[in-house]
Amino acid sequence: MIKLYAFGPAFGLIDPSPFVIKVDFYLRAAGLEFLRVPGFQNMRGAPKGKLPYIIDNGAVVADSAFIVSYLKAEYGDPLDGGLPAEQKAVVHAFTKMMDENTYWCLVHDRWINNACWPAVRKEFFGGLPWPLRVLVPMAAQRRVKKSLYIHGLGRHSDDEILDIAKRDLKALSDYLGDKEWFFGKGPTTLDVFAFAFVGGLVIPPFHSRMAEAARSFPNLVRFVERVKAKYYPA
């Protein structure tokens, strides 16, 4: 049985990490049986110091992109197998946009923006004893700030970061249009990955300008609701 090592539910999401949601939804959409193993302690065993990773028949695979490639190689490619090369190229380009750009906007919103940070701090660190409850989130936020600065996104103003996120959301919204799925017929990995990132902005009960911007695209909201109803019924 495939074991998916995750953080665990938070903010109305099955996981705070869009990368974990990607793999979870991929496994469901591909009809593969798996066991989700939640817990922040999973970080200790993570081969690359990040979640998610999976263990399958003794194979340890880290990083959502490598995990999906592994699953396709091992169990077939029911989601993208029928796509022509041109559409696969679109999947790749959008995927990298979300992984390398949208993701950091989401991180900035949750970890730096005061509209989200107090709730995030409480969710992740509220269970720690005092004074760790105060010191650990301060150190963690400092580390995230540094990562954002090194990435480059953290050098922009809040307005510029919001604008960057909106452009990604608009591209996804324009491409989805009024279709049920990004390529019409059924979920491909583009739907899986888009749900992970757009859902990560739309679903949590945050009212930051970025979350509201995501909710201002009615077709993306409907898309998230459709996926939730079909793959994550309450």
Ligand X SMILES: N[C@@H](CCC(=O)N[C@@H](CS)C(=O)NCC(=O)O)C(=O)O
- For binding to ligand X (CB under 6 A), which residues are involved? 17, 19, 49-52, 63-65
- Give me the least distance between CB of 19 and ligand X, in Å please: 4
CA 23, 110, 92, 45 dihedral sign is negative
- Give me the least distance between CB of 179 and ligand X, in Å please: 26
Measure the CA–CA gap between 100 and 30, rounded to whole angstroms.
Answer: 24
Instruction: Report the residue number, 19 or 26, with the smaller CB distance to ligand X.
Output: 19
Geometric angle at alpha carbon 157, from 51 and 134, rounded to 5°: 50
- Give me the least distance between CB of 180 and ligand X, in Å please: 26
Instruction: Report the residue number, 106 or 220, with the smaller CB distance to ligand X.
Output: 106
The per-residue DSSP string of 87-121 comes to HHHHHHHHHHHIIIIIHHHHHHHHHT-TTTHHHHH
- Give me the least distance between CB of 13 and ligand X, in Å please: 11
**What are 134's strand-pairing partners?**
none
Measure the CA–CA gap between 75 and 95, rounded to whole angstroms.
Answer: 21
Instruction: Report the residue number, 64 or 113, with the smaller CB distance to ligand X.
Output: 64
Instruction: Report the residue number, 51 or 148, with the smaller CB distance to ligand X.
Output: 51
